[in-house]
Amino acid sequence: MDELLDVAVIGAGMAGIIAARDLSAKGHKVALLEARDRLGGRTYMDSACGDVLELGGAFVHWTQPHIWNELRRHGILVNPPIEVCRHYWLADGVVHSGSAEDFFGIVSPLFERMFADSRARFPMPFDHTAIDNADIEKETIEDRINSLNLSSYERAVLEGALSGVVHSYKDHGIAQLLQSAATYFGNFGAFFETAGSWSIQGGTKGLIDSILADTTAKICLSTPVTSIIDEGSQVTISTRDGQTIRARSTIVALPLNTIGDVRISPSLPPVARSMIEKKNPTMAGKIWIRIRGEIEPFSITAPAGKSPLNALRTERYVNGDTLVFCMCCDDAAIRAKDSQGVQDVLRMFIPGIEVVDIAYHSWATDEFAKGGWMMNRPGFFTTGAVDLRKPHGNIQFAGGDISDSEPGSIEGAMSSGAQAASNVSFRLAKVQL
């Protein structure tokens, strides 16, 4: 690519797509470079289980300003969740069941205790450094649960309820979850609704197509980047296939766990480098299960490490069968299980249930993801992520993994992409004066 671009955006997930659209709308010459042969990053739709399924990120909410603005802009609606009739939860090695009132009557008070200090810790959730949270940054989710002095039964119920977003209680820091609760006025249950209830009509692909219909950015698929060198007056980007791309500025919108695969010069600050090296620990996965017949809507929760299937919910019905989606804390456990294995686990909760088919995409082994949604390690949420969001010369980072707004979500990715585009556009305007 011989021309000098204004901006090269690296990574065509939701952050990169929004950044490229916004910058091109301001008249900048933009290229969007994507390693995969498709757009969308860790959102991905494919035909499976007799339907078209979201195998990656999918859920949105009207309380999330960036995604909701995009949906309204393009006339796209959301699908309401099915009301669950029966809840099953694994605790102390025993399967319990009851109504929604029974289950949330136990879980809600536990959430309240666990996140009681969320608003005090993050009084302005959009500003992660508004107060000194150095002490809380050292705390893991396991530390916080230990501090509650719960019975073994209460602990198992709480850990199971968290398993839809948590991969490992000892590897994730509590700070991110406290900020998530604080965003929704200290109500973790409200945050939980935004994280896994409402999906996009027509799916994420339809939204992506609508967004990119508004851009003049040049889209380059199957273009993995190997190095980014800021030379002061421009950034030189090298690709795996030998291309050299030059731009006045670049936005790196890659998953945290793949940034280390790219040589970046000059070197980043120590805390940012440490966060990249230690990585996002989430090695969880999402599996779809097609169950024979239209059965009563249900949910299942089980603590991480106690079951290969951890957070399941009926999603919809298709051709007389039931589609269930499941968040699994250990991706390796999913890959080790075939339809029969999944059925065996499900029958622990619902005897006689029959699995027709399963579908999943392993994000943990995906070369261009190397992990699932973002859950920060202790010590990085208010340090490394903050450092990565700052401009590094002509290099700006973006993405749901480092967003200051709802990290790990589509909203977080879009928010980060929009902010990065605004920062870069402002910088380019100053240089041209």
- For 396, list phi and psi in degrees, rounded to 5: -125, 135
Contact of 341 with 310, CB cutoff 8 Å: no
Burial class (CB in 10 A: 0-12, 13-18, 19+), 362: middle
Sign of CA dihedral 376, 382, 387, 391: positive
Q: According to the model, what pLDDT value does residue 334 have?
A: 82
List of the chain residues with pLDDT < 70: 1, 336, 432-433
Query: Could you give the residue range(s) of every CATH 3.50.50.60 domain in the chain?
Result: 4-41+202-279+369-432
**Which residues 6+ apart lie within 8 Å of 255 measured at CB?**
11, 13, 41, 42, 280, 368, 369, 370, 371, 399, 401
Picking from 260, 268, 228, the residue whose alpha carbon sits closest to that of residue 244 is 228
- Give pLDDT tens digits for 359-390: 999 999 999 999 999 999 999 999 999 999 99
Give the per-residue pLDDT at 2.
77
Residue positions forming the annotated binding site for FAD: 34-35, 225
Nearest to 259 by CA among 276, 280, 246: 276
CATH 3.90.660.10 boundaries in the chain: 99-198
Report strand pairing: 30-33 vs 4-10: parallel
Measured distance CA(110)–CA(419) in Å, rounded = 35
CATH 3.90.660.10 for the 99-198 domain, yes or no: yes
User: Tell me, what's the pLDDT at 433?
Assistant: 54
The predicted structure's pLDDT at residue 13: 98
| Of residues 233, 246, 212, the one with CA closest to residue 8 | 246
User: What's the DSSP call for residue 341?
Assistant: H
Q: Which of the listed CATH numbers 3.30.200.20, 3.50.50.60, 3.40.50.261, 1.20.1260.10 matches domain 4-41+202-279+369-432?
A: 3.50.50.60
Structure-block tokens of residue 165: 């977003």
Rounded CA separation 397/228 (Å): 12
Q: Residues 6 or more apart from 233 whose CB is under 8 A from it?
A: 248
CA distances from 289 to 20, 53, 338 (A): 35, 11, 11
List pLDDT tens digits, range 201-218: 999 999 999 999 999 999
Binding site members: 34-35, 225
